[in-house]
Amino acid sequence: MASVSALGSNPHDVWTQYLTNQHRFKNKTFNGFDALVSSLSEADWNAVNTLKASAAYSNLDPSVLLAIDVSRTAVENAGWNGSSFGINIGSSRGATTLFEKYHTEFMNSKNAKVSTLSSPTTTLGNISSWVGHDLQSNGPTLSHSITCSTALHAILNGIAWISSGMADRFLVGGSEASNTSFTIAQMRALKIYSNDDSAYPCKSLDFNKTQNTMILGEGAAVFCLEKGLKTNAIATIEGIGYATEPLKHHISISTNADCFQKSMAMAIAHIESQDVDIIIMHAPGTLKGDRSEYMAIKQVFNAKIPALTSNKWKIGHTLGASGGFSLELAILMLQHQKFISIPFLNAQKHPKNIKKILVNAVGFGGNAVSILVSLN
């Protein structure tokens, strides 16, 4: 496991940030407007950008550089020697920085010219392909986008490849560098971006809020998957679920989040529902998104609802990488045996012994994934 985000770039720093009641948002000026975002620290961006010292990497999008950076760390942490592993690292938006750069150049060009690298550096397959190149992997390399459930879908893909016998190990996760003018403008156009100027501007899981409060963030999170119990494993995925519900609107989800009901029920089908200690919700801070997921949880768990939390109040919505950061939080809570609550919500009963955590993610169009994780 490895990640980089506004929380830091190593498990100690990430956990230390989770123990505070402070969010990681800062105001940033874009093209003609200001907006809150969560960003990597200057030190972490400097470390990532050292990759550009290589001529081969100098023209890569930040989303690719983030993925390369954390993948190196994850493979080292897992002790993976050799090149026999697959890679599936996805992104919701892809090469947003370069897309905007090259499109601006095109629009300002008098003869409709664009850079020679405008096509090869903006394809979605760039992420896994370049990670594979960097790590010299000879396994399958896949990139995909299933919007905000991309990282957890990557985990599903890795499990499928390993279960089929076509691979023994898979590097999976998500990367997003979406703090760009056009991306923020798109979210604002949907009327879901936060204008809240209170102490906690993203009110994920606050069911008393009266406006949408989603805020974007950036980063990458990846995991090394292997079949069976390993002595150096940090956690076990013991249940997976997935579902898609009929699309009624481009960004819709049903009132009771039918897709989440199906994915959660599938992920916990082998256990009693009361055995789930915590659910890390997708909960992006929107009125309908938060409420519908909660209604789905009530349908699946009835009166015995586990402790609920999310990390979007702290780091915002990292889109295709968000499920990876939720899984990272789950693993850290299991390791430290401590529930990370949301400071502006009423206190919940905290589980004394944390054994099983359910992680949710969903993307535009109702593409839901639920993953049940536990300690070895």
The arithmetic mean of pLDDT across residues 131-155, rounded, is: 96
Whether the per-residue pLDDT at 370 is higher than 90: the answer is yes
The pLDDT, as a whole number, for residue 29 is 96
**Dihedral sign, Cα of residue 175, residue 177, residue 179, residue 182:** negative
The pLDDT, as a whole number, for residue 249 is 61
The arithmetic mean of pLDDT across residues 228-250, rounded, is: 88
Nearest partner of 2 among 223, 171, 176, judged by Cα:
223
Whether the per-residue pLDDT at 252 is higher than 90: the answer is no
DSSP letter for 146, please: B
CB 242 within 8 A of CB 156: yes
DSSP-based three-state secondary structure for 321: helix
**What average pLDDT does the structure give for the chain?**
95
**C-alpha of 128 from chain center:** 16
Residue recorded with tokens 């897709």:
259
The pLDDT, as a whole number, for residue 117 is 93
CB 273 within 8 A of CB 266: no
Q: How far apart are CA 151 and CA 331, in angstroms?
A: 15
The arithmetic mean of pLDDT across residues 225-243, rounded, is: 95
CB 239 within 8 A of CB 269: yes
184 contact partners, CB below 8 Å, separation of at least 6: 30, 33, 35, 37, 193, 216
DSSP-based three-state secondary structure for 366: coil
The arithmetic mean of pLDDT across residues 88-100, rounded, is: 95
Count other Cβ atoms within 10 Å, centred on residue 100: 15
Residue % of the chain over a pLDDT of 70: 98
The pLDDT, as a whole number, for residue 112 is 84
The pLDDT, as a whole number, for residue 47 is 96
DSSP letter for 291, please: H
The arithmetic mean of pLDDT across residues 323-339, rounded, is: 98
Q: How far apart are CA 353 and CA 220, in angstroms?
A: 29
The domain 2-374 is placed in CATH, from the list 3.40.47.10, 3.30.420.40, 3.30.1540.10, 1.10.3720.10, at 3.40.47.10
pLDDT of 26-64, one tens digit each?
999 999 899 999 999 999 999 999 999 999 999 999 999
Nearest partner of 90 among 13, 48, 143, judged by Cα:
143
The pLDDT, as a whole number, for residue 83 is 83
| Residue 253 vs residue 135, higher pLDDT | 135
CA distances for 243 relative to 218, 318, 366, angstroms:
26, 21, 8
113 contact partners, CB below 8 Å, separation of at least 6: 106
Q: Which pair of structure tokens corresponds to residue 223?
A: 């995991």
Q: For residue 347, what pLDDT band results from cuts at 50, 70 and 90?
A: confident
User: Alpha helices of the chain — where are they, by DSSP H?
Assistant: 11-18, 42-49, 62-78, 96-108, 126-135, 150-164, 181-189, 258-267, 287-301, 312-315, 322-336
Whether the per-residue pLDDT at 251 is higher than 70: the answer is no
Count other Cβ atoms within 10 Å, centred on residue 276: 26
The pLDDT, as a whole number, for residue 125 is 85
Q: For residue 250, what pLDDT band results from cuts at 50, 70 and 90?
A: low
Nearest partner of 152 among 222, 77, 216, 254, judged by Cα:
222
Percent helix, strand and coil across the chain, each rounded to 5?
Answer: 35, 20, 45
Q: For residue 302, what pLDDT band results from cuts at 50, 70 and 90?
A: very high
Residue % of the chain over a pLDDT of 90: 89
pLDDT of 6-20, one tens digit each?
999 999 999 999 999
Q: How far apart are CA 201 and CA 25, in angstroms?
A: 8
Q: For residue 110, what pLDDT band results from cuts at 50, 70 and 90?
A: confident
40 contact partners, CB below 8 Å, separation of at least 6: 4, 5, 6, 9, 48, 218, 219
| Residue 36 vs residue 376, higher pLDDT | 36
pLDDT of 257-284, one tens digit each?
999 999 999 999 999 999 999 999 999 9
DSSP-based three-state secondary structure for 175: strand
Q: How far apart are CA 246 and CA 205, in angstroms?
A: 25
